[in-house]
Structure formats: C-alpha cells, structure tokens
Structure 1
Amino acid sequence: MMVFNQAVLVLIVAFVFTPVIAGIVRFIEDLRFDKQVAQRTARMTPGAQPLVSIVLPFAGDVDRLQHQLDIMQASLTYQRYEVLVMVSAESTAILRRLRQIVAQNAAVRVIEFTETTNSANLLSQGAMFSRGEFVLTLPKNGVVSGNSLEETLALFMTDINGIPAAHVGAVMLETLPRRADNFATTIA
C-alpha cells in the first residue's frame, strides 16, 4: 500500500509541477525573445534598414490606390521601402493615371501585365520584379502603417534559441512563362 501511495504521489507531482515548470521556462524564453526583438528594432537606423518591397495587386480604382499610397507614405515610420503595384490588362486611361502616380512618388513602380491574371499570380510575379531584401505582399485594398514594418523585420532578423537569423526566401514552384511579346513590363 505504501508503494502505491508513493507512486500516486510521484504521478501527482509530475502532472502538476511539469506544466508549471514548463510554463515558467516558456515565459522566460518569451521575455528573452521580446527583448531581442526590441533591441533589434531600436538598432534599425535608416542606414541599416534593409529594402522592403511591398507588392500590391491593383484593385481597378486609381483613386483608391492613391489613397492607399497616401496612407502608407504619411504613416509609415520605416524609410527604405518600394511599392510595386501589379496591374493586369487595364485601359490606356487608367495606365496614364498610374504613370502620373509613379511620376509623383519615386518609391512606387507599376508592373503591367498585358494579359488578365489573378491576384495570387500577380503577387508571386511581383516578388520576381522586387528589388528588396524582404518582400511583403498585401491584398487588394491593403495598407501597412505605423511601425509594423520595423516590428516584422525585427522578428526575421532576431536570433531564435541561439541560432543566428537565417536569410528568408520564398520558393515559387510555378511561375508564368516569360514570353517574347512583353507579357510583363515596368511602367515608369
């Protein structure tokens, strides 16, 4: 009977204290990771900032696009970014207005696809046209604002569990073929 009671006591201790100890260890690791992210964010001076390419599929409304770009330009605290607006088979009037937007803002590039394609394909092709070290894809009508880019980059640039931060990349298994008829061109 005594051996049985000791076994029950060991099981109770194991089931009660193991999660408590694991929770304490996890809490300490989270504090350490958050501290690393905060330190990395604080060290991101404009000269040390990697270029971020923000890929945005065009929703068909030039005024809405101008509003999105104005919000990003006014509120982003991050300095080194470019915006790639991915356009699929639009009219010449819309392309003319997009050229005006590009002329007003040096951080914006418009990539025109001469054939109709879906948003997912536009985003993956936008990654191919990007110049940045990091690529951020947004949905149609999406914006990024405040210090969200710094916080996101700090996560990618922070060592995790003693392992140095690795280069982040994306693998696209299928891409649109590049054709001789200028399937995609940059509007400048």
Structure 2
Amino acid sequence: MIYLLFFYPIFMSLIWIVFSIVFFIKSEVSFKKKTTSKPFISILIPCYNEEAHIDKTINQLLTTIDYPNYEIITINDGSSDNTLKHLINLTNQYQNIRVCNVETNLGKAHALIQGAIFSKAEFLLCLDADATVDKHALHAMVQNFLGKSNQDVGAVTGNPIVKNRKTFIGKIQTVEFLSIIGLIKRAQSIFGTLNTVSGVCVMFRKGALLDVGWWDQECITEDISITWRLQRKHWRILFEPDAVCWMLVPEKLSSLFKQRLRWSQGGIEVLLKNADIFLERQFNFGLIVLYLEQLSSIIWSILWYSLLPVILAKGIIFRDIQMITLILTVIITVFSIFQYLLSIFINLKYDFKLLGTSFFAIWYILLYWVINPITLLIAIPYGIRTYLKGGQAVWESPDRGGGNG
C-alpha cells in the first residue's frame, strides 16, 4: 500500500506528457487561423515598491510590442518608495501611459480592479512589473477572444519563460516553468479547465470580469481565484503558447520558499472557497475533476511525509523493499527527465537558449520533491485560518532576482 505513493507522481507525469503532446500537435504544430482585427487593449501593471524595475519594464514594452492599438495603465498600490515618482515621469515621456494611484496598499487584486475600471478597453492584459512580452504576444492573445465561437472566452493566459538564469535557483526554476507548469497548462487545456492562469501575463475580457465580480480581494493568490471564478460561471480560459512572457524569478532559496508558501496557501484558500462546487445544480465535470486532482495532491503530500520514515525504516531492514524503492525512484526520475526533454523540444522555437538549462534538470527534480510538499503542508493551517478569518489580502515587495539573466 505504501508504494502507491510512488505511483501517484508517475501517473500524473504520464497524464501531463500524453495530453501536452496532444495540445502541441493540435495547437502549436497545426495551422492557426489568424484575424487581422486589432481591438484596443489596456495593459495593466500593478506596482508596489517597483522603482528598481518599472522604468526598464515600460521602456522594453514600448520598444518591443508590435501592436498598434493599446495603452499602458500603471497602478501604484501605496508604494513606500519612489515608484509613484517614476510612474509620473513615464507619463510625461509617453502619451499612451496613464497612472492610477492608490494611496494605501490594498493588494494586487484591488489594484487590478482600479486599473480595470480606469481602462478604456474591453480586453485587459495584466502584467507584473518585472515582466515583458514577445512582440507578437498581444495579437496572439487577443485573437483568441474574437469571432462568434470565442464569445465565451473569459481569459487567455500567456507562456512565461524565466529571464534571469545566471544563478542555480534561477536555472532550476527555468526547468520548472518548462517541464511542470508549461506542460500542466497544455494538458489541462485539453480537458477544458485550468487550475490557474499565469498572473504574470494574462489577458481578460472585461465583461467576463464584471460578470464574476472582479478579482477576489481576500485571496492571497488572485490569479488562482479569478481562474476558478470565471470557470464556475462557464467562461472558457485558454492557454496561448505564442504569447511568450519574459519574467524574473527569486534567486534566493528563502525567497523561493516564501513564494511557494504563498502559492500553496492561495491554492488551499481557493479549494475551501469552492468546496460547494459539488452542490451545484449544473454539473461541471471538468472543474470537479480538477478539484479532485488538486485535493489529491494535498493528500499525497501529507501521506508522503507521514509515511516516508516508514519506507526508509523498512528499507534498512528488508532488501526486497530497498530494491522496489530503488526501481520506483528510477522510474520517477526517468519520467521527470522525459518531461523536461519534451518541454525543451516544445519550447525551443520560443527560446533556443533553453538548452543551456539541461544540466540542472536532475537538481530541480530533487528540489521539487522537497520544497513543494513541505510548503503545502505548512500552508494548510495558514490557508484554513485566512479562509475563516477573511480580510484584505495585501502584498509585499517580491524578490525580483538579479535582472537580465
């Protein structure tokens, strides 16, 4: 029975591999019908203490984006540094930049709501203050909303790729975003439901946001929450691999741990808030399967660290158990490496330099198995407490890493 714990990651890896290949053939190899329509887009960039990055981000966006019809709205969310001064200076330099100032830090969700209300467009591209996009990203994303068959599309999430890869922590996160996050989004797209959009780069239909009551200001991870809100109202969410987004990631282990703890806590909050999905009259099969999959990962993490000492203890005494454990560990490693190789193959057309991260694939596998289950276990009481307590979810200045990579 204990060894069923090994089969869970093997089974999930197989699911991700098979269905990401299906998505790749269906959406990335086959011809995409493109539209020449270029509707107006508002780019929303919420900022909290971003004086070190915001000028570079805006300048890169303005020089990179190949789309004629857009504005940039920066939202200063009660920054305690000189972010607001930088934003005002940028509006004086460029005509298509506006500033929305919130005097008190009320969180990313609140900042996005203010920016959305302030915007002039029906389509809103939300970017983090350290993120830039490929020149064709806006057109690639917005075309998913157009046409009669796409009127129920509420959001299109982009394809984030790590930019700062000079450090060990940066390199292993590059592996993660390729072989885990990227493949999961492709696989979930085939099933028709996503657990979360990529908050660093996602485009929304404003009418869909209005329909679900905007972002949840109580949830610590607004991107997971809005994904579930939209899908529960039967808005479709799509993954657009051609919408490449370059982002910065934490370069310190402590910052990475803190980030993953926040992600885990937010995921638990969302599961608790959506537990009533099983009571809905209109059966949402895709979301129920997704809910059970997310719940099973929590249960697996609890059992893994609860039973790991038993596995190790028995392995010391019984040689046959040692052999079984070794075989299963090798199988998991092989699947993980194949995941990575597949993700590299799929993403080479977006960035050929990704091959340089190959050496760090095995290190990521080890770190992933240690950090993610631990942060999930630690996050459970925090998630339950914040769910019961409620209140405004504010944010702190994140570790943006070292820059260019």
Shorter-chain TM-score category? 0.5 to 0.7
The equivalent of 2:151 in structure 1 is 166
Measure the CA separation in 2 of the matches of 1:140 and 1:92.
15
| SS, match of residue 72 in structure 1 | helix
Q: Paired residue for 2:274? A: none
What is the CA distance between 1:64 and its match in structure 2?
1.1
User: Does the 8 Å CA contact 2:48/2:77 hold for their aligned counterparts?
Assistant: no
Aligned residue in 1 for 2:135: 146
1:59-83 Cα offsets, whole Å, 9 max, x none, are 4233411100111111111111111
Q: Which amino acid aligns with 1:49?
A: K
**SS of residue matched to 2:39:** coil
Structure 1 segment 10-21 matched on structure 2, within 5 A:
none
Find the aligned partners of 1:139 and 1:100 in 2 and give their Cα distance: 19
- Which of these residues, 93, 103, 122, is aligned with residue 92 of structure 2? 103
Q: How much has 1:93 moved relative to structure 2?
A: 5.1
Residue-by-residue CA offset, 1:145-182 (whole Å, 9 max, x unaligned): 310111111111145xxxx4327432352688xxxxxx
Give 3-state SS (helix, strand or coil) of 2:128's partner.
Answer: coil
Kindly indicate whether the alpha-carbon contact (under 8 Å) linking 1:55 and 1:123 is maintained by their aligned counterparts in 2: yes
The alpha-carbon deviation at position 123 of structure 1 amounts to: 1.3
- Flag the 1:38–1:74 CA change in 2: closer, same or farther, 3 A: farther
Q: Is the 8 A contact 2:41 2:125 kept in 1?
A: yes
Question: In proportion to residue count, which structure has more helix?
Answer: 2
| 1:12 alignment partner in structure 2 | none
Q: Which residue of 1 aligns with 2:45?
A: 56
In structure 1, the gaps of 5 or more residues are: 1-25, 177-188
Matches of 1:88 and 1:60, distance apart in 2: 8
> Does 1:39 find its partner at 2:34?
yes
Tell me the percent identity: 21
The TM-score, its normalising length taken from structure 2, stands at 0.30
Query: Residue 155 of structure 1: SS of its match in structure 2?
Result: coil
Is 1:90 paired with 2:79?
yes
Distance 2:94 2:33 in 1: 31
Of 106, 110, 124, the residue aligned with 2:113 is 124
Matched, 1:74 2:63: yes
The residue identity in structure 2 corresponding to 1:137 is: C
Aligned residues: 138
Distance 2:102 2:66 in 1: 31
2 CA distance for matches of 1:92 and 1:59?
9
Letter in 1 for 2:96: A
Give the TM-score of the pair, scaled to structure 1.
Answer: 0.61
How many angstroms does 1:89 deviate by?
2.1
What 5-or-longer segments of structure 2 have no aligned partner? Answer: 1-21, 153-204, 218-405
Give the Cα–Cα distance (whole angstroms) in 2 for the partners of residues 118 and 139 of structure 1: 13
- The secondary structure found in structure 1 opposite 2:74 is strand
| Distance (Å, rounded) in 2 between the aligned partners of 1:90 and 1:39 | 41
- Give 2:86's aligned amino acid: R
Q: Is the 8 A contact 1:56 1:140 kept in 2?
A: yes
Cα offset for 1:49? Answer: 1.8
SS at match of 1:82: strand
Pick one of 114, 124, 129 that aligns with 2:103: 114
How far is 1:58 from its partner? 1.0
- Aligned counterparts of 1:139 and 1:92: Cα–Cα separation in 2: 17
Residue pair 1:59, 1:141 contacting (<8 A) in 2 also: no
Range with bigger deviation, 167-176 or 99-108: 167-176
Q: Deviations over 1:30-51 (max 9, x none)?
A: 58xx64x4331xxx2xxx4211
Distance 1:136 1:77 in 2: 15
Structure 2 CA distance, aligned partners of 1:93 and 1:138?
A: 20
